[in-house]
Amino acid sequence: MDNSIIPNHVGIIMDGNGRWANTRGLPRVEGHRQGVRRSKDVIKASVDIGIKILTLYAFSIENWRRPQNEVVTLMDLFDFYLKTEIEDLMSKDIVFKVIGNREKLPKGIQFLIRNAETLTSNNRGMVLALAVSYGGRDEIIRTVRKLSSSGVDLSTLDESVFEANLDTKDMLPVDLIIRTGGEKRISNFLIWQSAYAELYFTDTLWPDFTQEEFYSAIHNYKQRERRFGAIPQKVTL
């Protein structure tokens, strides 16, 4: 792949794990397990082509309303990932971050998150951000509350100060959002950060989303003309 024009920051809405399992007569947990394996493939592909930031939508704040047994299963998978993947993250020089409302997460997982973030903080490679217990509206409300309690004069608030207090502070805006599973919406994912993001939708369920299709999404992005609200200047010969 020609790496001369690739997105700096890619966000992925990993949709379709449950449907993947259902169509095969498997428990939904098997879909989530396969989804974790697919995530590892895409992380590797992102590192290989030089993407700077990859944000994976792992568990939305609305997902807390799912059946209790499924929530427990997802938390167990997250716990297992945090315990077993640190060595791989270190070997790839990846900086690990979690964005979202951490107060809703089990205390043990909160500890593992802090540990993983600390251990990888001095790495210099790609930033891998997992959006867990995350919602774009919730993030904005939490940010406003944080600014208000810190004494910031909200009447003089500007975008740069606001962005510096989001979960994604120090992260570049999202250039490309990929959604698998056939739905065509962003489902409360990075709604501030993706104001000018390019969108790529595919019917492929997440467990079937290969590195090759990921590369196709990146290639599609490279064909886009990004204007950011402006009119492109005409070329005069």
Backbone angles phi, psi at 198, to 5 degrees: -80, 145
- pLDDT, tens digit, 9 for 90 and up, residues 156-173: 999 999 999 999 999 999
Q: Is residue 129 part of a domain?
A: yes
Mean pLDDT by 10 residues, the chain (237 residues): 80 97 95 95 97 97 94 94 95 98 96 97 98 98 95 91 95 97 97 96 98 96 78 50
CB hemisphere CA count around 95 (13 angstroms): 13
101: its two tokens: 């409302």
Q: What is the pLDDT of residue 5?
A: 84
Please check whether residue 170 is in contact with residue 3, taking contact to mean a CB–CB distance below 8 angstroms. Answer: no
Q: Is residue 185 part of a domain?
A: yes
Q: Give the CATH number, domain containing residue 118.
A: 3.40.1180.10
Q: Is residue 4 part of a domain?
A: no
167: its two tokens: 């979960």
Please check whether residue 43 is in contact with residue 214, taking contact to mean a CB–CB distance below 8 angstroms. Answer: no
Q: What is the pLDDT of residue 225?
A: 78
Listing DSSP states for 188-210 in one string gives TSSTTTTTT-EEEE-SS-GGG--
Q: Compute CA 94 distance to the chain's CA centroid, rounded to the nearest angstrom.
A: 14
Q: Is residue 227 part of a domain?
A: no
The range of the structural domain enclosing residue 209 comes to 9-222
Q: What is the pLDDT of residue 235?
A: 44
pTM of the entire predicted model: 0.93
Q: Is residue 235 part of a domain?
A: no
10 Å CB burial of residue 142 (0-12, 13-18, 19+) is middle
Q: Is residue 230 part of a domain?
A: no
Q: How many domains does the chain have?
A: 1
170: its two tokens: 């120090």
9 closest CA partner among 166, 235, 224, 170: 170
Q: Is residue 91 part of a domain?
A: yes
Please check whether residue 105 is in contact with residue 63, taking contact to mean a CB–CB distance below 8 angstroms. Answer: no
Catalytic residues: 15, 63
Listing DSSP states for 156-178 in one string gives G--HHHHHTTSTTTTSPPP-EEE
Q: Is residue 236 part of a domain?
A: no
Measured on CA atoms in the order 191, 192, 193, 197, is the torsion positive or negative? positive
